[in-house]
């Protein structure tokens, strides 16, 4: 593939879904500090604006996209805008996640089941075919860093009372693993990281009495994950 000005621009655009808090926000800040233009997606406008303030204070750039990843029309429109403005995206960080209430497997509620599967599994399945063309458009010639998609496994999935969360994460990671196998030779690169326990809102919901001072800061984990990714 011949390198063009368009795909050179696109390689420095990072789409971060679930960017308002926790690891997603830390990754967005780290990427912006490294010179990426971050397209930050989350449902909470206020948290996105706070993220943007931190990014701008550090000299970075971001485009805020306050939308729900389960809104297929909105995500299609956003991906089209990324294509039209930058020609593609060099990185997709998918950190959007929903933590349902802890529950024994026989007592999973229908509303919790629907919302958890929509956010954690169905939205991922819908986003992969929307984002893959953006990543392909940003691919560089052989030997240069490839565009990449980044997903996050969670070791708590499968533990007792985590059946619904675990099932949704297992489905999400299975999709990512299949996509990784399918693109191993041709790209884009699909990476799956397993973050250390961090003081996030999701973890606080699962472990409310935990000593959070013993957990790894999100910024520290973000730096490690991006270093492992080569970004």
The DSSP code sequence of 85-103 is: HHS--SEEEE-----PPPB
pLDDT of 222 reads 98
| Nearest C-alpha neighbor of 147 from the set 163, 164, 167, 133 | 133
* The predicted structure's pLDDT at residue 4: 47
User: CA angle, 86 as apex, 96 and 127 as ends, to 5°?
Assistant: 30
The pLDDT value given to residue 7: 52
Structural domains of the chain sorted by starting position, each given as residue range(s) with its CATH number in brackets = 5-229 (3.40.50.720)
Distance CA 101, CA 41 (A): 24
Q: How far is CA 50 from CA 44, 90, 92, 211, 216, in A?
A: 10, 24, 21, 26, 22
pLDDT given for residue 159 in this prediction: 87
Q: How much is the pLDDT for 109?
A: 94
CB atoms within 10 A of CB 150: 23
Q: Say which residues have a Cβ less than 8 Å from residue 5's Cβ, sequence separation at least 6.
A: none
Query: What does the pLDDT read at residue 144?
Result: 52
Q: What is the pLDDT of residue 2?
A: 35
* pLDDT score for 181: 97
Task: Using 50 as the pLDDT threshold, list the residues of the chain that sit under it.
Answer: 1-5, 143
Instruction: Evaluate the omega torsion of the peptide bond into residue 113 and state whether it is cis, within 30 degrees of 0.
Output: no
Nearest of 137, 128, 142, 144 to residue 190 by alpha carbon: 128
What's the whole-model pTM score?
Answer: 0.92
- What pLDDT, on the 0 to 100 scale, is given for residue 41? 98
188: left (phi over 0), alpha (psi -120 to 50) or beta: beta
Task: Find tokens 């990324």 and name the residue.
Answer: 82
- Give the pLDDT score at 192: 98
């Amino acid at each position: 593939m011949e390198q063009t000005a368009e795909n050179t621009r696109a390689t420095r655009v990072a789409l971060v879904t679930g960017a308002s808090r926790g690891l997603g926000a830390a990754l967005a800040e780290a990427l912006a500090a490294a010179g990426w233009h971050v397209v930050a997606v989350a449902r909470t406008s206020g948290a996105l604006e706070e993220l943007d303030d931190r990014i701008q204070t550090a000299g970075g750039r971001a485009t805020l996209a306050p939308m729900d990843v389960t809104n297929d029309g909105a995500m299609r429109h956003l991906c089209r805008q990324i294509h039209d403005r930058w020609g593609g995206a060099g990185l997709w960080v998918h950190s959007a996640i929903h933590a349902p209430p802890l529950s024994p497997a026989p007592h999973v509620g229908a509303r919790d089941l629907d919302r958890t599967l929509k956010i954690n599994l169905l939205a991922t399945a819908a986003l992969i075919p929307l984002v893959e063309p953006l990543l392909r458009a940003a691919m560089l010639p052989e030997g240069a860093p490839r565009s990449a998609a980044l997903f996050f496994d969670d070791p708590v999935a499968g533990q007792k009372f985590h059946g619904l969360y675990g099932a949704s994460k297992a489905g999400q990671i299975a999709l990512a693993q299949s996509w990784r196998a399918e693109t191993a030779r041709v790209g884009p690169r699909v990476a799956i990281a397993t973050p250390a326990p961090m003081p996030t809102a999701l973890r606080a919901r699962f472990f409310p009495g935990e000593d959070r001072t013993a957990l790894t800061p999100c910024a520290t984990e973000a730096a490690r994950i991006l270093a492992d990714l080569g970004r």
